[in-house]
Amino acid sequence: MPFKAILFDKDGTLFGFTDTWAYFCDRMFDALAGDNELLKDQLAHVCGFDRKNKKFETGSLIVNASADEVNEAWWKLLPGRSLQEIVDLNHEIYDHLPAVPTCDLVKVLSELRQLDFKLGVATNDYEAGAVAQLQEASAMTLFDFVCGSDSGFGRKPEAGMVHGFCERFDINPAQVIFVGDSTHDMDCARNADVGLSVAVLTGPATEAQLTGHADIVLPSIESLPDYLAKAGFLKGQDAWNLKY
């Protein structure tokens, strides 16, 4: 059964994780805590963000959880504020998130489209935030499918986003290559029984942390077209032959 589609995680895979989410966290903390540095530290701690060094803990909420889960964790530290107020603020800041690609997205994605792949994005961010970033990077038109944690397919590491992608184009999960930067992404790939899971090293997770969770670990998505070619990928080739 040949590969027909590639489904990408967004943050840490298509876009630089820290470039996006350090900015987001700083803006949220300013809005939620004002000049209260202790409260800012508490908000950072609960989501796994090191404010001083601008780093995220591997496996933390901000890395693996959905936007709703992060909002709820912050809400519990903010008596007197409604959850909806935090959600609304979240959406407002999402509209202005920086889009810093991990490579030349248009070039890489265009190469993959030339191989007749359907391309999709599956993120635990909100769908509107993903669309806005892809549009800013001039990459939205290269994707056939974009879904977020609010799109009705559930959230990673559940398999719903992959299954929704497959249903949209009438393909089998075994025909999908799933690309992500976290063990959460790889768990999603495994739960959906995709044909090939590819981890990239452009997010917070290290190679040691990803090895064993993915079929292959690559430096970035920029390496994907070359990997497929060197692995012997030809149109119509059996997908399983790509695994070594």
Q: Are residues 120 and 77 in the same domain?
A: no
pTM metric for this prediction: 0.85
Q: Are residues 104 and 220 in the same domain?
A: yes
Q: Are residues 21 and 72 in the same domain?
A: yes
Q: Are residues 119 and 35 in the same domain?
A: no
Whole-number pLDDT of residue 129: 87
- End of a domain among 42, 70, 94? 94
Structurally, how many domains does the chain consist of?
A: 2
Q: Are residues 40 and 135 in the same domain?
A: no
- End of a domain among 94, 116, 137? 94
Q: Are residues 82 and 107 in the same domain?
A: no
Whole-number pLDDT of residue 230: 84
Q: Is 2 exposed, middle or buried (0-12, 13-18, 19+ CB in 10 A)?
A: middle
Q: Are residues 203 and 144 in the same domain?
A: yes
Q: Are residues 180 and 203 in the same domain?
A: yes
Whole-number pLDDT of residue 240: 41
Which positions of the chain have pLDDT values less than 70? Answer: 1, 232-244
Q: Are residues 80 and 179 in the same domain?
A: no
- End of a domain among 41, 61, 94? 94
The CATH number of the domain holding residue 238 is 3.40.50.1000
Cβ neighbour number for residue 142 with a 10 Å cutoff: 16
Domain of residue 216, residue span:
5-16+100-242
Whole-number pLDDT of residue 244: 35
Q: Are residues 23 and 70 in the same domain?
A: yes
Q: Which residues are CB-contacts of 224 (< 8 A; sequence separation ≥ 6)?
A: 6, 108, 112, 179, 198, 218
Q: Are residues 204 and 160 in the same domain?
A: yes
Q: Are residues 124 and 203 in the same domain?
A: yes
